[in-house]
A = this chain, B = another copy of it.
Amino acid sequence: MPVRGSKKAVAIVSGGMDSVTLAYLLASEGFSLQLLSINYGQRHLKELEYAKLCAERLGAEFDVADISSIGRLLKGSALTDDVPVPHGHYAALNMATTVVPNRNAIMLSIAYGVAVAEGADLVATGVHAGDHFVYPDCRPEFIEAFGAMQKKAVEGFGDASLRLHAPFVEWSKADIVTTGARLGVPYADTWSCYEGGEFHCGLCATCGERIEAFQIAGVRDPTVYESVGVG
């Protein structure tokens, strides 16, 4: 258990590799942590169980912000409706169908609301460079603009030092795994797969990305896959 500091961070944690590594990194830096999972009506809630487990292990507070009822208003995503999940390697044509419109702005603005209410110093997100190609709201330009907007939005409320922290925004997923391995992140207890099966499918785009990240990082992959994808 890391030493708990007086600085507090609200971290958006989905239960995936990136956000769980983020939580471990912040804990190692002495932050008192509140982990916030967002239920935006994704197909399955399996990853939220891993977010909760992460909070328990780190002695962090844990909350789920349930905005699933707005899912029907954000139509057109394979993650929230009945469009089939794309299989195969990461590619723009595949991933575009998994985009929930404006998801990061919605999640981050809720996290900021919680951070103001809690008097936190930091809102943290695990977005990384591998997301940039398809998701504009994971790019450094978005993170910078979002932080600037929030400075204007909460001026005079909460702690003036409240800021947005996206330490992985220029990192590859392999970089994240390398750091996570050093921090002892239990990757077997993280979830990437778009399908909600008992094990990772090994075939969908995020499974492919997960497999690749461990390979490039040279870190043993503890994940059990149903199938081995074509890479």
Residues of B within 8 A of A199 (CB): none
Q: Is A109 an interface residue (CB 8 A)?
A: yes
Q: Is A73 an interface residue (CB 8 A)?
A: yes
* Partner-binding segment picked from A134-142, A175-183, A190-198: A134-142
Q: Is A114 an interface residue (CB 8 A)?
A: yes
Q: State whether A74 touches B117 (Cβ < 8 A).
A: yes
- Complex CA gap A101/B155 in Å reads 11
Q: Is A216 an interface residue (CB 8 A)?
A: no
- Complex CA gap A66/B66 in Å reads 9
Copies in the complex: 2
Of A66, A67, A105, A158, most buried by chain B (CB within 10 Å of CB) is A105
25 A–B contacts, CB within 8 A, in A order: A67-B67, A67-B69, A67-B70, A73-B114, A74-B114, A74-B117, A76-B117, A100-B113, A101-B158, A102-B113, A102-B154, A103-B113, A104-B153, A105-B150, A105-B153, A106-B109, A108-B109, A109-B109, A136-B155, A136-B157, A137-B153, A139-B152, A142-B152, A145-B152, A145-B153
Residues of B within 8 A of A153 (CB): 102, 104-105, 136-137, 142, 145-146
Q: Least Cβ distance of A122 to chain B in Å?
A: 15
Contacts A70-B113, A103-B113, A145-B145 aside, 14 further interface pairs with beta carbons under 8 A come to A65-B69, A67-B70, A74-B113, A101-B112, A101-B113, A101-B117, A102-B109, A102-B113, A102-B153, A105-B112, A106-B109, A106-B113, A136-B153, A149-B149
Residue of B nearest to A92 (CB): B156
List the interface of chain A (C-beta within 8 A of B). 36, 63, 65-67, 69-70, 73-76, 99-106, 108-110, 112-114, 116-117, 136-137, 139, 141-142, 145-146, 148-158
Residue of B nearest to A69 (CB): B66
Q: State whether B100 touches A105 (Cβ < 8 A).
A: no
- Contacts A67-B70, A110-B106, A149-B146 given; indicate if A116 touches B101 (C-beta within 8 A): yes
Residue of B nearest to A106 (CB): B109
